[in-house]
């Protein structure tokens, strides 16, 4: 009987998925089940899966209470991986993440770290309020994220970390924290769900409160070894068919003001290749360029970047086995968004207070984000221009 790796190779070569291939099992045991439980969080769940297969890190930007840590925790449990989570404060110390000194060994004159249950043993790690990291933690984190290594004195720990995930409700301002932010190749803005999805959210949340977490069927759960095997296939994906289109896209992304260095542009190809692997393909196609939506540096870039990528993906549906994220996620009502912007202009003309301006700015930015998905290029351009002018007036 073929093992999982052999089965995945068959899937990888033929495009048509086979039931026991890791990519198919990842959907069945993790992503599909989580999407059924978490209303309106399909995007985040797909990005967690992409990050893990690519071996890259994901930053989640948004307010508390939007299920960021819960999604990562549940995903780690669904794929049967060791998980570490920590809320950083200005006063956090390295021992709280990496483990204390082994006092018994210290009496023998040996400096050793007790890493049981700590970040050095985790395959998934979630760091909440990432930008509270102080200088004592910062240097260690940079090495962990970049090299999967933790060093203390003469000892060196090679980490089994598949991916790190982090969250914050603000973006970094000083250079030291910017270097930490740079280690997160994927960035996703996570907002509270819109009013239209609130009934479904309440029903799903109440079902969990009433019945508890559903019992998972562990018979088909993936392990860290399965995910590492998928990661190995990422390296074998043929990228040549999309390199010219990708190079052109990189230039356009940079024209938007996004800091996409040569190093980051090369690393994004890992995400492109991982997208192909998750679709059971050995060759990348234009649909895999959906990952470019998530390379932004600042919130105001999200809408224009989404619009740019939507234009690149206009013909992605004609590609073989396109990634589902390449499709428009939902129909965008251009007239409804235009009405929201008109209402925002009316409120701004009334001279709102400072706190109301902040909320108004968030509403306009949300409209701009949704407008980037509009299929009508003329309507999309008009909305983004109107929203951009409003955001400029709001400061």
What is the DSSP code string of 329-350?
SS---HHHHHHHHHHHHHHHHT
SS3 33: helix
What's residue 215's pLDDT? 52
What's residue 148's pLDDT? 96
Please count the other Cβ atoms lying within 10 Å of the Cβ belonging to residue 346: 9
What's residue 354's pLDDT? 62
CA-to-CA distance for 283 and 78, rounded, in angstroms?
28
Res 278 pLDDT > 80: yes
Structural tokens at position 260: 């996409």
What's residue 349's pLDDT? 85
| pLDDT (average), residues 48-73 | 94
- Kindly indicate the confidence band of residue 378, based on its pLDDT and cuts at 50, 70 and 90: confident
CA-to-CA distance for 55 and 220, rounded, in angstroms?
22
Please enumerate in sequence order all residues whose Cβ is within 8 A of that of 353, keeping only pairs 6 or more positions apart, or say none: none
What's residue 128's pLDDT? 96
Lowest-confidence region among 144-158, 221-235, 260-274, 358-372 = 358-372
Res 286 pLDDT > 90: yes
Please enumerate in sequence order all residues whose Cβ is within 8 A of that of 207, keeping only pairs 6 or more positions apart, or say none: none
| pLDDT (average), residues 351-359 | 71
SS3 85: strand
Lowest-confidence region among 272-281, 306-315, 372-381 = 372-381
The yes/no answer on whether domain 4-211 falls in CATH 3.40.50.10860 is: no
Res 391 pLDDT > 90: no
What's residue 219's pLDDT? 61
Structural tokens at position 75: 């995903």
| pLDDT (average), residues 183-189 | 96
CA-to-CA distance for 73 and 86, rounded, in angstroms?
12
CA-to-CA distance for 58 and 44, rounded, in angstroms?
10
Please enumerate in sequence order all residues whose Cβ is within 8 A of that of 357, keeping only pairs 6 or more positions apart, or say none: 348, 394, 395
CA-to-CA distance for 59 and 183, rounded, in angstroms?
9
Residue 188 β-bridge partners:
60
Are the C-beta atoms of 137 and 89 separated by less than 8 Å?
no
- Kindly indicate the confidence band of residue 294, based on its pLDDT and cuts at 50, 70 and 90: very high
Res 9 pLDDT > 70: no
Dump pLDDT digits (tens) for 220-245. Answer: 678 888 999 899 999 999 999 999 99
Structural tokens at position 197: 């999805």
Question: How far lies 86's CA from each of 93, 122, 350, 368, in Å?
Answer: 11, 12, 44, 33
Residue 60 β-bridge partners:
167, 188
- Kindly indicate the confidence band of residue 375, based on its pLDDT and cuts at 50, 70 and 90: low
What's residue 394's pLDDT? 83
CA-to-CA distance for 365 and 346, rounded, in angstroms?
16
Q: Which helix (H) or strand (E) is 58 found in, with range?
A: strand 58-61
Please enumerate in sequence order all residues whose Cβ is within 8 A of that of 310, keeping only pairs 6 or more positions apart, or say none: 328, 372, 373, 375, 380
Average pLDDT over all residues of the chain: 85
Please count the other Cβ atoms lying within 10 Å of the Cβ belonging to residue 236: 11
Res 11 pLDDT > 50: no
- Kindly indicate the confidence band of residue 288, based on its pLDDT and cuts at 50, 70 and 90: very high
| pLDDT (average), residues 41-51 | 95
- Kindly indicate the confidence band of residue 392, based on its pLDDT and cuts at 50, 70 and 90: confident
What's residue 8's pLDDT? 40
Q: Is 340 left (phi over 0), alpha (psi -120 to 50) or beta?
A: alpha
Residue 5 vs residue 381, higher pLDDT: 381
What's residue 141's pLDDT? 95
Dump pLDDT digits (tens) for 72-84. Answer: 999 999 998 999 9
- Kindly indicate the confidence band of residue 362, based on its pLDDT and cuts at 50, 70 and 90: confident
Question: How far lies 347's CA from each of 211, 356, 369, 392, in Å?
Answer: 44, 9, 20, 15
Q: Which of 286, 379, 358, 268 is nearest to 327 (CA)?
A: 286
Res 193 pLDDT > 60: yes
Q: What percent of the chain has pLDDT over 70?
A: 88
What is the DSSP code string of 117-185?
TSGGG-SEEEEETGGG--HHHHHHHHHHHHHSEEEETTEEEE----EEEEEESS---SHHHHHHHHT--
Within its chain, how far is the Cα of 149 from the centroid? 22
What is the residue extent of each domain of the chain? Answer: 4-211, 237-326, 334-394
CA-to-CA distance for 225 and 125, rounded, in angstroms?
17
Dump pLDDT digits (tens) for 91-122. Answer: 999 999 999 888 877 777 777 888 899 999 99
């Amino acid at each position: 009987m073929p093992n999982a790796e052999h089965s995945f190779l068959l899937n990888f070569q033929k495009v048509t998925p086979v039931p026991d291939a890791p990519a198919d099992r990842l959907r069945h045991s993790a992503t599909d089940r989580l999407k059924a439980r978490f209303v309106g969080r399909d995007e985040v769940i797909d990005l967690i899966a992409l990050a893990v297969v690519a071996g890259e890190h994901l930053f989640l930007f948004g307010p508390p209470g939007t299920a960021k840590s819960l999604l990562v925790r549940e995903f780690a449990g669904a794929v049967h991986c060791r998980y570490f989570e920590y809320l950083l404060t200005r006063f956090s110390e390295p021992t709280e993440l990496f483990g204390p000194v082994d006092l018994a060994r210290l009496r023998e004159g040996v400096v050793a770290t007790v890493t049981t249950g700590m970040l050095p043993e985790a395959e998934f790690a979630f760091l909440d309020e990432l930008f509270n990291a102080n200088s004592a933690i910062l240097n260690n984190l940079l090495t962990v994220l970049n090299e999967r290594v933790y060093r203390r004195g003469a000892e060196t720990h090679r980490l089994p970390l598949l991916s790190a995930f982090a969250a914050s409700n603000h973006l970094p301002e000083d250079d030291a924290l910017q270097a930490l932010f740079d280690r997160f190749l994927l960035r996703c803005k996570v907002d509270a769900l819109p009013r239209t999805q609130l009934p479904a959210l309440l029903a799903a949340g109440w079902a969990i409160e009433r019945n508890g977490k559903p019992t998972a069927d562990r018979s088909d759960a993936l392990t860290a070894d399965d995910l590492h095997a998928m990661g190995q296939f990422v390296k074998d994906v043929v990228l040549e068919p999309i390199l010219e289109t990708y190079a052109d896209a990189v230039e356009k992304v940079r024209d938007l003001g996004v800091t996409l260095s040569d190093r980051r542009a090369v690393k994004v190809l890992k995400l492109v290749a991982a997208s192909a692997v998750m679709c059971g393909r050995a060759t990348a196609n234009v649909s895999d360029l959906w990952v470019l939506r998530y390379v932004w540096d600042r919130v105001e870039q999200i809408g224009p970047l989404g619009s740019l990528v939507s234009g690149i993906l206009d013909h992605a549906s004609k590609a073989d086995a396109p990634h589902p994220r390449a499709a428009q996620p939902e129909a965008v009502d251009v007239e409804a968004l235009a009405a929201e912007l008109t209402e925002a202009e009316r409120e701004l003309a009334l001279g709102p207070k400072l706190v109301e301006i902040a909320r108004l700015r968030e509403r306009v930015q949300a409209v701009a984000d949704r407008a980037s998905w509009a299929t009508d290029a003329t309507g999309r351009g008009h909305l983004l221009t109107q929203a951009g002018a409003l955001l400029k007036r709001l400061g």
